[in-house]
Chains A and B, each alone.
Chain A
Amino acid sequence: GEDVEQSLFLSVREGDSSVINCTYTDSSSTYLYWYKQEPGAGLQLLTYIFSNMDMKQDQRLTVLLNKKDKHLSLRIADTQTGDSAIYFCAERDYKLSFGAGTTVTVRA
């Protein structure tokens, strides 16, 4: 089976960078994803990375993948109050497997 683990909480000051970490166990993952979920809503795909890539940057978001250590991270630059949400890491072989989610709280 696939296991995806994330830290559960992160508190960050507005304007600082946020870094959310994730580890996974399935070495045959083809894609890895970061989703954002706001209260009472579904999941919004933020970004993804192919398993043969090391890094991907998309505006304020930077994804780093260490395939050897099976470690994925999401960095949000200049964190804003609107970034407060739950962030899910997910990996996909033939189906998506999600981590438990990291609740990010942005304080003024």
Chain B
Amino acid sequence: GAVVSQHPSWVICKSGTSVKIECRSLDFQATTMFWYRQFPKQSLMLMATSNEGSKATYEQGVEKDKFLINHASLTLSTLTVTSAHPEDSSFYICSARDRGGDSSYEQYFGPGTRLTVT
């Protein structure tokens, strides 16, 4: 099956620094990738949708200057949390949609990245 990886799986950073999270589709091409945020014992909240080669579309309430998304290729999207603060601590999950074929209905999820800002 299709595999999505995230790196790093967990990161601790100091307040005010920036952190980059990578999301890769390993065995398929993803024209669209999604970034979600999940607080403990809560559901996934969509932050933004990114399409390869174009600007990301952010959900209402998500600061685009704080959460920078770059979808540079059909297999890689990055989320950079700029000037991180403790309230940005969360579980970030990416998802990728297969470019085509019968699996176009499906989004494949990465294992998530646990960010802790101290």
A-side residues, CB < 8 A to B, are 30-31, 35, 40-45, 48, 88, 92, 95-101, 103
Contact = CB atoms under 8 A, between A and B. Distances in A.
Contacts of B44: 43, 88, 98
Interface in B20-37: 34
Main SS at interface, chain A: strand
A41 B107 contact: no
B contact residues, range? 20 to 34
A31 B105 contact: yes
A90 to B, nearest CB: 9
A43 B93 contact: yes
Interface of B: 4, 6, 34, 41-44, 46, 49, 93, 95, 105-112, 114
A100 B43 contact: yes
B71 to A, nearest CB: 16
27 contacts: A30-B105, A31-B105, A35-B109, A40-B114, A41-B112, A42-B6, A42-B93, A42-B109, A42-B111, A43-B93, A43-B95, A45-B107, A45-B109, A48-B106, A88-B43, A92-B105, A95-B46, A96-B34, A96-B95, A97-B46, A98-B43, A99-B43, A100-B42, A100-B43, A101-B41, A101-B42, A103-B41
Contacts of A95: 34, 46, 49
Contacts of B6: 42
Contact of B109 (A43, A92, A99): A43
A32 to B, nearest CB: 11
Nearest to A95: B46
A101 B43 contact: yes
Nearest to B45: A98
A95 B59 CA distance: 11
A64 B34 CA distance: 28
A6 to B, nearest CB: 9
A28 B105 CA distance: 15
